[in-house]
Amino acid sequence: MSPELIDKVRSDFPALHQSVHGRPLVYLDSAATALKPQVVIDAVTRTYTEDCANIHRAVHTLSQRATEKYEKVRTTVAGFLGVQDEREVIFVRGATEALNLVAQSFARPRLAPGDEVLLTEIEHHANLVPWQMVCEQTGASLKVVPVQDNGDILLEDVVSRMNAATKIVAFPHVSNALGTILPAAAICRAASERGITSVVDGAQGVVHAPVDLREIGCDFYAFSGHKLYAPSGIGVLWGRAELLEEMPPWQGGGDMIRIVSFEGTTYNDIPHKFEAGTPNISGVIGLGAAIEYLEAVGMAELATHEAELLEYGTGILNGIPGVRLIGEAPSKAGVLSFVMEKAHPNDVGTLADARGIAVRTGHHCAQTVMKRFGVPATIRASLGLYNRREDLDALGEALHSVNRIFA
């Protein structure tokens, strides 16, 4: 990405135009939540100032406008994911709700004692706990694919654990804690050949590179808006129409009904069958604005930009005494997780914040990853559209300062 384009992008994010502790903000926490461009903020504001009405429920002008904008985003998301049928796009609160929906509505009626759900050792809690819960409810078993010492998940390790008992394989497209990019298309193809349902946690996948679900070939894909430069409290579950049609509603009320009586209820068609109650209307419209913004910049250009920054940042961290990277898989997205020999991650995060640098410290909702690598927590610098080399230079200077303090 050219310096001119980076400057233009940075000017679009008002949160960057501030100082923290007297220093210009350096934001390296996009894997937790991304900053929002002005066009997203404006889209949300317009929803409340001009089109503040409930959708699907009225003939008046405000409701009609809000409904049209809301449903237009379904088409936008379908195009963003490379799929044709917008009915397969379900709006939820985030990837966590999407994965719980699949676990409870799809998996729970189908699993039985003796069945297996296959996960990886690098799951976010949102793609681990729901499967634990459904296994407890049904008597199915949880199986785990181990992670390599470099943070990689090998295709052969996944495939070798697929067997006649495996009913579902669920895995992250990209690890939030390590940045590892999994071979999603190959895993889904192997699952399909064996009659296994594939569920992809795409919360970090859609953020870093173009995603084409026709190429990936999964059965379900989930992501959150707030990591995609959109508002919080909104996300998407994509599922194959034939599977969604078979699934019972997960929640009741609002637009998920067609006819209601005390004798029984007839449910609505997909996707509305899974969108009970008043949705996050402004969040959906903000999500559409975020996707349009990213597509204008170019997802391929974003991927190249982040790859260059990742290489640059890796070089900086490897040159600092006492720094150890956690997760150096051959295929990685813009996540740098590391520990320091002499300082606890929380101390590093606090000292970085004093310099205006925002990094994440802790287990990153991935305690099993921390256990696997024998650390209580890591420092995570995660890259976004608006980052530049100067941000990583500032992080490197801060870490050298930490070494001096703890010498």
What are the catalytic residues? 365
Question: Quick one: three-class SS letters along the chain?
Answer: CCHHHHHHHHHCCHHHCCEECCEECEECECCCCCCCCHHHHHHHHHHHHCCCCCCCCCCCHHHHHHHHHHHHHHHHHHHHHCCCCHHHEEEECCHHHHHHHHHHHHHCCCCCCCCEEEEECCCCHHHCHHHHHHHHHHCCEEEEECCCCCCCCCHHHHHHCCCCCEEEEEEECECCCCCEECCHHHHHHHHHHCCCEEEEECCCHHHHCCCCHHHHCCCEEEEECHHHCCCCCCEEEEECHHHHHHCCCCCCCHHHEEEEECCEEEECCCCHHHCCCCCCHHHHHHHHHHHHHHHHHCHHHHHHHHHHHHHHHHHHHHCCCCEEECCCCCCECCEEEEEECCCCHHHHHHHHHCCCEECEEECCCCHHHHHHHCCCCEEEEECCCCCCHHHHHHHHHHHHHHHHHCC
- CA 214 from centroid of its chain's CA atoms: 19
Q: How far is CA 364 from CA 238, 295, 322, 377, in A?
A: 25, 28, 22, 8
Cβ proximity of 226 and 232 under 8 Å = yes
Cis status of the peptide bond prior to 271, with omega within 30 of 0: yes
